Amino acid sequence: MVRIFRGEDIRRLGSGSSGATNVTRVLGLKYGIPVLLFDTAKGFLPTFFLTPWLINSGQIAWSEVPVKIVLGIFCIAGHIWTIFGKFKGGKGVGTGAGVVLSIYPLATVICLAIWGIIMGITRFVSVASMAAALCFPVVVFSIGHHDLALRIFSLLFPLLILFTHRRNIQRLFKGKENRIG
């Protein structure tokens, strides 16, 4: 979006991330929302549509959830370390949300509500994103989803989100993190 509408590289502007939050800061919400939807679709569409094809074609003999998780990990990693951006991409929250939506929609709705509440209180996208990611395993374990692969993924995904937000965490402690609005 930034390259198309401003002729610039988003990774050289704002926080340097190519994700929806930085696009929103640079171009505004009008462009940030489509980027968020695209990032989410990058996680949702491959996991939702490729999984049945892989299982039904006999390519993979696993159950649905582990296949979605493996595909989802590739989607998230491809977003964070994109080959199209010299291995520097976004933070994985939107794409991860798309993966989780494909696997466990109820968890997505609950974590999105938590994101909204925290965002409304703090106006820090980073804090809201990390809080929602940290709530994901709580939701998975408390609502009774018993798939072992999902439980393991739910514990590891928040660690990845914390890792990709490490500079945000440093800025938060220094009082230099940017708020939205």
| 43-94 pLDDT per residue, tens | 999 999 999 998 888 777 788 999 999 999 999 999 999 998 888 889 999 9
User: Would you say residue 115 has pLDDT above 90?
Assistant: yes
d(CA 104, CA 25): 30
What confidence category does residue 6 fall into, taking pLDDT thresholds of 50, 70 and 90? confident
User: Would you say residue 14 has pLDDT above 90?
Assistant: no
Amino acid 60: pLDDT: 76
Token readout for 161 is 């989100």
Q: What is the pTM of this model?
A: 0.92
* Domain ranges across the chain: 2-174
d(CA 16, CA 7): 15
**Cα 88 to chain centroid, rounded:** 15
